[in-house]
Amino acid sequence: MMKENDCILKSKVLNAILSGNHTCKSIYLMIDYMGSYSSFRVALNYYVKKGYVNKIGCSKPYQYNLTKKGVKHAYNPFLHRNNFYSFVEKKANEKAIKLLEDDNRIKEIVQKLVDDTHEVNNNFEYMGNSLFNENRKLKNEIYRLKFDRNLKIEKVKVQTQNEILNMLGYNNLNELYSNIKGHKNKSKLSETEFKRRMNLIKRFNKRYITKQFFDELKYYKPYFSPSTFEIKILPISYGKQVVKDGFFRELNANEILKFKMYVIVSSDEGKFSIISQKIGKLADINLKNNTGKQQKRKINPKDRS
């Protein structure tokens, strides 16, 4: 029996011939066939075999024309399928009429349906109750296991975090962050190193900075906190410690470019700011005494990737 997709393809082919395309190649190009050219030729030969199309010629390129049957099917590609369904419906009606004429046969069929339905209903009710109870037990068990697992994970996280903070001499995370923000390194740069860093900063003034900028600056680097979604510009000595403790990680080259950081040099010698075009000012830094004032900036979780 012909499927609906076959009928649609047949309609395209027959209508293409009807509109003046008479070679295999021109029909193929006209209908925008999704398969290969060789598979299309097989389909076209099938329509020739079924009597929709006449194949004319002794050598390539062959000419293809519609038969009377082909013209009918071009206008109604579902004609064969509809005729088939009508035939099946007619046979079914004939059989039903014969059955209706036999009273004993009807009684036998009805009784069998009643018996089968009663048995199925009983079995279904038993199976339904059993499945419902098993499903409820399974759901309760899954919920309990998930709750226990989440509780254990949370306990381990809190315990590990507290142990790390105690080792560092802090009572909580706020104390650690306050220490980082208020830290001031009093050691001054040599005049040569100060000039080198100032030249670097002026080179990047009002320009997007790269990982190379931080590598040459040496003292400061950008860090990201996965738990709070904050970005901070920290002294490397502190950055290494918070990375080691798992509170922050260093931003890579692509992430630095993504957040579009740039430098603004202050009129006060040795001072400059690092700003992200996406999230705002990140830090004010003074090279003369290596101090930095951090700005609390959070990123959108969608910008993490």
Closest CA to 288 of 179, 183, 193: 193
The pLDDT of residue 298 is: 55
The pLDDT of residue 46 is: 92
The pLDDT of residue 291 is: 57
Strand partners, 232: 223
Distances (CA, A) of 186 to 51, 193, 269, 289, 292: 98, 16, 17, 6, 11
Q: Cα separation of 203 and 196, whole Å?
A: 11
In degrees to the nearest 10, what's the CA dihedral of 135, 140, 145, 146? 100
Predicted structure pTM score: 0.35
Evaluate the omega torsion of the peptide bond into residue 226 and state whether it is cis, within 30 degrees of 0: no
Distances (CA, A) of 193 to 95, 108, 186, 216, 218: 103, 106, 16, 11, 11
Closest CA to 292 of 151, 154, 186, 145: 186
Q: How far is CA 288 from the centre of its chain?
A: 49
Strand partners, 150: none
Q: What is the pLDDT along the chain (305 residues), one digit of tens a residue?
A: 444 467 888 888 999 898 888 899 899 988 888 889 999 999 999 999 989 999 998 888 899 999 988 888 888 887 777 777 777 777 777 777 776 666 666 667 666 776 666 666 565 555 556 666 677 777 777 777 777 777 767 666 667 777 776 666 666 666 666 666 555 444 456 888 888 888 988 888 888 988 899 888 888 888 888 877 788 888 877 777 777 777 788 889 998 898 889 999 888 888 899 998 888 888 888 877 665 555 555 555 555 54
The pLDDT of residue 218 is: 80
The pLDDT of residue 1 is: 40
The pLDDT of residue 2 is: 43
